[in-house]
Amino acid sequence: MANGGTVPEGPETRQQADRIARALVGECLAEVWFAFPQLQPFAALLCGRRVDAVESRGKALLVRCDNGLNVYSHNQLYGRWLVGVRGRLPRTNRQLRVALHTETRSALLYSASEIEVLTDGDLAGHRFLARLGPDVLDRDVDEVLVAARLAEARFRRRSLGALLLDQTFVAGLGNYLRSEILFVARLDAALRPIDLDTDRRRELAAAIVRIARRALRLGGVTNDPDDVRRLRAEGVPRLGYRHYVFGREGRPCRLCGEVIERSTVAGRRVYSCPACQAG
């Protein structure tokens, strides 16, 4: 049984959704189980229903069924979806919260506490989903749209360090992506969109889209792909080649050799190069 991801940001949630979709979409649910008593009455309503889609929305996930019911989950820090052959449970100390079984496959949610069953009509007014900005991983989201949001009055005076964690701005970004995006855009976390000219905002928007989609494509890797290939050929482990700056405090910048620094912005750790991001 494959693990559903290690870091609950947008790319990892989208990868989980894709794995679950391969197992469930187009199939009928032969058995449904919920750990929480308030959800247990929904098991009978979902059993026998076809799974039409599995979607990620930012860091949340929806399993959508043909009767208009949706299993909503947000993994927060500890939740994990595991997908595998039905009847073959993984070895884990985690607590099972949701089990969705077809005749041959299973999608199992462990350790999460934020789980609901919602109707299609509930989605638009949901306290979390209704507040989400455009998902950075959706095909119709591009740098033009993101640049326009950076220029909006409600966002333009926010520090970039805080704004890039705000799911109402762009959904799916998280802590490692924030550090990597700011490094690629050569920007300090204290700057605000209003401090940037049009070209710099466009460059930041392009970095937001490019780095998030690279993380999706490469399984959480944000470093330059050519550099990754070289480092892997040299035998460098994943932690050594995965990121430009995130988690690399005290190590040399991959571009200029300056020592990477760690600070705290909006209550979360952020990594940066004091030379490359001096402006």
Residue type for position 231? L
Q: Does the residue 170 lie in any domain?
A: yes
pLDDT in tens, 135-182: 999 999 999 999 999 999 999 999 999 999 999 999 999 999 999 999
Task: Report the domain count for the chain.
Answer: 2
Task: Name the pTM for this structure.
Answer: 0.91
pLDDT score for 91: 87
Question: Same structural domain for residues 115 and 32?
Answer: yes
Name the residue among 58, 85, 57, 54 with its Cα closest to residue 71: 54
Q: Does the residue 39 lie in any domain?
A: yes
Question: Same structural domain for residues 126 and 149?
Answer: no
pLDDT in tens, 14-26: 999 999 999 999 9
Which residues, in sequence order, are bridge partners of residue 85? 105
Q: Give the CATH number for residue 248.
A: 1.10.8.50
- Crossing angle of helices 175-184 and 198-217, in 10° steps, is 130
Q: Does the residue 52 lie in any domain?
A: yes
Q: Give the CATH number for residue 57.
A: 3.20.190.10
pLDDT score for 78: 84
Question: Same structural domain for residues 112 and 198?
Answer: no
pLDDT in tens, 115-134: 999 999 999 999 999 999 99
pLDDT score for 166: 96
> Could you tell me what percent of the chain has a pLDDT over 70?
97
pLDDT in tens, 105-118: 999 999 998 999 99
Strands 69-74 and 114-119: antiparallel
Find out whether 11 and 216 touch, Cβ atoms under 8 Å. yes
Residue at which a domain ends, from 96, 131, 166: 131
Q: Write down the catalytic residue from 14, 59, 149, 178.
A: 59
CA 80 to chain centre: 13
Whether residue 8 lies in the annotated active site: yes
Helix (H) or strand (E) holding 48: none
Whether residue 268 lies in the annotated active site: yes
Q: Does the residue 76 lie in any domain?
A: yes
Question: Same structural domain for residues 10 and 81?
Answer: yes
Domain span including residue 188? 143-272
Alpha helices in 42-163 (DSSP H): 42-46, 120-123, 143-150, 160-163
Distance of alpha carbon 7 from alpha carbon 67, whole angstroms? 32
Q: Is 202 helix (H, G, I), strand (E, B) or coil?
A: helix
Question: Same structural domain for residues 84 and 193?
Answer: no
